Structure 1
Amino acid sequence: MVLRRLAARRPHVLTIAPAPLSDEVLRLRLAVEAELSRRRWPVADSPADADVVLLAGTPGPRLAAVVEAVWATVPAPRVRVAVESVAGIGPALDDAQERLRGGRRTWSDSDDERQHGRSADTAMAGLADDDRDGLLLDAVHVALGPVLPHWPSGLVVHATLAGDLVTDAHAEVLDAPATVGAGSRGRSPLGPDRTRLDVLTRLLALAGADHLAEGARDLRDRDPAPGELTAFGRRIARHRPLRWATRGIPLVGDPVGERTVTDRVVALGRALGTSLAPPPRPTADKAARTLIGLELGAARLALAAMDPDTGLGAGPVAAFAPQGVGHHHH
């Protein structure tokens, strides 16, 4: 009963959204984040931290399977809700809070499922091969995403790891065709500054600059007063802990026009409040290839900095399998 009251007061929310193959899906995800910020409901860092699982949009079959598996790992008390329009966000969150208060059982919430439910890792079993045989530096084939904090919606990166080093990587956008079509995307419905602030919100949070991330989210979700954007950009450029957290992480292959994550952060900040075009964003495939050679933590920061446009699509890729031998050794 005590846990239920605590969970209902300020529920931790895990939001899962499909790839933004349309502008409406992107706007829905942003509206959900804005409403959670307005209510001061914390964002869950993982399924284990969640009280509410919120599905923003209609998932395809691959993402739907991931949602079911993630749901099975969320501890009680828990509630799952789905929203398909901006107008439905407030009522859905109100309903979730009421259900947490009342302890009403939610769909798929049976004792049998909780005892025998699959884990989130199992949900990705069809997307990756695990090639570990107990040796410390074996090549391990893993699927990263699509439900990770500050991770692009719908993206799965199929990676080969040697220890924590990414030695190969390919991208898949769940339930998306191989190519959505150049005429259907390639622009942001947010405009230049809101696009930059959306990138910075996730990148700053992942880098541990929580106050700056909150500032970026606040500016993204409202109409800033004159000079606010420029002042915020200067704060980012002067923030030494942020420079330290991102220093030395390269962006190989010129995916966004900057050579390092630090350069990307500074460029995004300095462009705020200017008349510059929206920042370039690579395709999911190009972003994934840029991660090769990076340690896993640095790869997460690089991916957040590039903010690949998953709305451009990236079709299914085959699960990794070593060529000719049972294992890769390093």
Structure 2
Amino acid sequence: MDLTALLLRVAARRPHVLVVAVPGATDVRLAIEDALARRGWPVATGPADADVLAVAGAPGPELAAVVDAVWEQVPAPRARIEVPAAADLHEHLDAATALLADAGHQRSAAVSGKEGHGTRIHSRPRPGGGQADHGDHRGHGDDPAHGGHEAHGGHEAHGGAQAQPDAHAAHGGDTDGDHAGHGAGQHAHHGHGGMVAGLPMAEPGPDRDGLTLDRLHVPLGPLLPDWPSGLVVRATLQGDVIQEAAADVLDAGHAAPFEWASAAARELDGLARFLGVAGWPSAAAQARRLRDAVLAGDRVDAEVAALLRRIRRSRTLRWLIRDIPAGPSTVADLLAARLAAVEAAVAADPAAPSTREPQHAVGLAGVAHALVGAELAAARLIVAALDPDTDRAAVGTGAGHG
């Protein structure tokens, strides 16, 4: 009996999928997320957690290089699917599971050292396709609507081209409330600068008070869970505070922007990503399910109202995001505006086309300025709250300075 083959077949029934969203291919990302939810396949939190790397859309040269670097970090057994259009998605997912379960293929690929080529599944493109300081939170109490929260881990630091020091680790929790905690840290090395053995070293520099402290240059993105597609933020840290930031989008203008057919679906999608970053996966999954129902033409007024009540009543979420600035606003105010926008869009007409509100029209410069002065642990919450539209980002870089 081939135990390895048996284990591969069992594991291939429920693979973890790391989704890489390409700017302009939001429709493919939505289709992948819906398919994974229907199949009960978990979304991977990083390369080390992934069995399948799913590229949603056709990346340009800059993003393609990052995807290749991430692919090298995915451990075997593994499979990679590239889906420029949503029509062939299920065929690709089925082919990925077949490759994962193929013991002979996985063995030969590992021995030959050509996994990067032997386990990739391509699709021919179709014409026209193109947190204030949050340490590790332990067992937060909550109101009766949540029924309590599990203990929470901190951040998982992923190495390589995709993963950044504040990337969130896997979040766990109960069926009602399951916020995960946030923490991040860097080790500064005095007297060093540039790269040492491929690792960025700190260099001395003046802070806002005129003191000379170590400065560490840290990139965030472009491939993080619930992160805007293609966005890269290059931050300069002193301690755990962002002193300078610059933001740009890889391959900006490479594809035509995605047009949302529904304002309610657009708002629910942004809300789902914010809740995912905040460490509340069950609420994020519910928001995504309602988003997909709206796109399918269903009326979900009662379900949306229940979700909004659940979010507004969460003392844990309020505590998590309190006093976190986000440019001229705060994360809490941006969340409140998002909830109000969801409510208004669903009450008016869920199928009405999306309009670009000021909250969603924030540019790259707005993202960069909002991050200056923030703690690294809060960076992803701030970006998720601002929810920049990277599909429409202009070519260039937005910069912010302390």
**Bucket of the pairwise TM-score, normalised by the shorter protein:** 0.7 to 0.9
1:246 pairs with 2:321: yes
**149-158 vs 97-106, which deviates more?**
97-106
Give the whole-Å Cα distance in 1 for the aligned partners of 2:374 and 2:249: 21
Asked if structure 1 preserves the Cα contact closer than 8 Å seen for 2:321 and 2:332, the reply is yes
Higher RCO, 1 vs 2 (CA within 8 Å, ≥6 residues apart): 1
Give the whole-Å Cα distance in 2 for the aligned partners of 1:113 and 1:99: 14
SS of the aligned residue for 1:241 comes to: helix
Tell me which residue corresponds to 2:168: none
1:194 pairs with 2:194: no
**145-154 vs 216-225, which deviates more?**
216-225
* Aligned match for 2:234, one of 158, 163, 173: 158
Asked if structure 2 preserves the Cα contact closer than 8 Å seen for 1:17 and 1:55, the reply is yes
SS of the aligned residue for 2:223 comes to: coil
Tell me which residue corresponds to 1:84: 84
- Shift of the alpha carbon at 1:263? 1.8
**69-78 vs 208-217, which deviates more?**
208-217
Asked if structure 2 preserves the Cα contact closer than 8 Å seen for 1:14 and 1:52, the reply is yes
**Identical amino acids, percent of aligned pairs:** 43
- Shift of the alpha carbon at 1:291? 0.7
**225-234 vs 146-155, which deviates more?**
225-234
Give the whole-Å Cα distance in 2 for the aligned partners of 1:201 and 1:267: 14
1:121 pairs with 2:191: no
Give the whole-Å Cα distance in 1 for the aligned partners of 2:219 and 2:261: 30
* Aligned match for 2:393, one of 310, 313, 319: 313
Give the whole-Å Cα distance in 2 for the aligned partners of 1:199 and 1:54: 21
Q: How many residues align?
A: 300
1:42 to 1:107, Cα distance in 2 relative to 1, 3 A: farther
Give the whole-Å Cα distance in 1 for the aligned partners of 2:247 and 2:269: 21
Give the whole-Å Cα distance in 2 for the aligned partners of 1:166 and 1:6: 45
1:7 pairs with 2:26: no
Give the whole-Å Cα distance in 2 for the aligned partners of 1:78 and 1:265: 37
SS of the aligned residue for 2:247 comes to: strand
Tell me which residue corresponds to 2:245: 169
- Shift of the alpha carbon at 1:47? 0.2
Asked if structure 2 preserves the Cα contact closer than 8 Å seen for 1:17 and 1:153, the reply is yes
* Aligned match for 2:383, one of 296, 300, 303: 303
1:226 to 1:99, Cα distance in 2 relative to 1, 3 A: same
Amino acid of the structure 2 residue aligned with 1:90? H
1:91 to 1:143, Cα distance in 2 relative to 1, 3 A: same
* Aligned match for 1:294, one of 374, 390, 400: 374
Asked if structure 2 preserves the Cα contact closer than 8 Å seen for 1:234 and 1:270, the reply is no
Give the whole-Å Cα distance in 2 for the aligned partners of 1:155 and 1:213: 21
Amino acid of the structure 2 residue aligned with 1:142? V
Amino acid of the structure 2 residue aligned with 1:252? G
1:77 to 1:108, Cα distance in 2 relative to 1, 3 A: closer
- Shift of the alpha carbon at 1:285? 2.8
Give the whole-Å Cα distance in 2 for the aligned partners of 1:307 and 1:81: 27
Asked if structure 2 preserves the Cα contact closer than 8 Å seen for 1:264 and 1:305, the reply is yes
Asked if structure 1 preserves the Cα contact closer than 8 Å seen for 2:81 and 2:92, the reply is yes
Tell me which residue corresponds to 1:60: 60
- Shift of the alpha carbon at 1:132? 1.6
Amino acid of the structure 2 residue aligned with 1:262? A
1:302 to 1:122, Cα distance in 2 relative to 1, 3 A: closer
Q: CA offsets, 1:135-157, max 9 Å, x none?
A: 99521112211111111101111
Amino acid of the structure 2 residue aligned with 1:272? V
- Shift of the alpha carbon at 1:18? 1.5
Amino acid of the structure 2 residue aligned with 1:15? V
Amino acid of the structure 2 residue aligned with 1:189? W
- Shift of the alpha carbon at 1:114? 7.4
TM-score between both structures, scaled by the size of structure 1: 0.81
- Shift of the alpha carbon at 1:120? 5.7
1:61 to 1:107, Cα distance in 2 relative to 1, 3 A: farther
**202-211 vs 267-276, which deviates more?**
267-276
Give the whole-Å Cα distance in 2 for the aligned partners of 1:156 and 1:233: 31
Tell me which residue corresponds to 2:35: 35
Tell me which residue corresponds to 1:50: 50
Q: CA offsets, 1:115-136, max 9 Å, x none?
A: 9xxx962579xxx973525999
Asked if structure 1 preserves the Cα contact closer than 8 Å seen for 2:248 and 2:398, the reply is no
Gaps of 5+ in 1: 254-258, 320-330
- Shift of the alpha carbon at 1:43? 0.5
Gaps of 5+ in 2: 117-157, 164-193, 206-211, 349-354
1:114 to 1:92, Cα distance in 2 relative to 1, 3 A: closer
1:317 to 1:228, Cα distance in 2 relative to 1, 3 A: closer
Amino acid of the structure 2 residue aligned with 1:157? V
Give the whole-Å Cα distance in 2 for the aligned partners of 1:233 and 1:296: 28
1:318 to 1:292, Cα distance in 2 relative to 1, 3 A: closer
Tell me which residue corresponds to 1:100: 100
* Aligned match for 1:144, one of 195, 205, 220: 220
- Shift of the alpha carbon at 1:303? 0.2
